[in-house]
Amino acid sequence: MEKLIVDGKVAVLVSSGFGAGWSTWMNNEDVVFDPVIAQMCLDGASDEDIIAVAEQRYPEEYFGGASGLYVMWVPVGARFRIEEYDGAETLHLEEDYSWYTA
């Protein structure tokens, strides 16, 4: 799996738009880290251009979550999860939580 890594951090694609999620509506982990699409987001590409590239790279997926797509930088090796509410996604690092031990 390819990833865009800069200064020890990985680009993770997250959708802030309502309606459909980006990573949470996918069955393909590669879409979460896609370096081409991440660079397009960083370069300010339009939703339409992002969808066109995504459809070529992942023809079996749904890209309704392209609206409001942005990059979050996560340290290499950090564990995280992405939660979705009505399409809007939020990234949470494992370290953001207090854990109990049984």
- Supply 74's token pair: 């996560």
Residue 68 backbone class (left: φ over 0; alpha: ψ -120 to 50; beta: rest) = left
- State pLDDT tens for residues 30-84: 999 999 999 999 999 999 999 999 999 999 888 888 888 999 999 999 999 888 8
Query: What kind and span of H or E run contains 31?
Result: helix 29-33
pTM for this model (two decimals): 0.87
Is 58 exposed, middle or buried, given 0-12, 13-18 or 19+ CB atoms closer than 10 A?
A: middle
Domain locations along the chain: 5-96
**Cβ-based neighbours of 98, under 8 Å, separated by 6 or more:** none
- State pLDDT tens for residues 1-24: 899 999 999 999 999 878 788 888
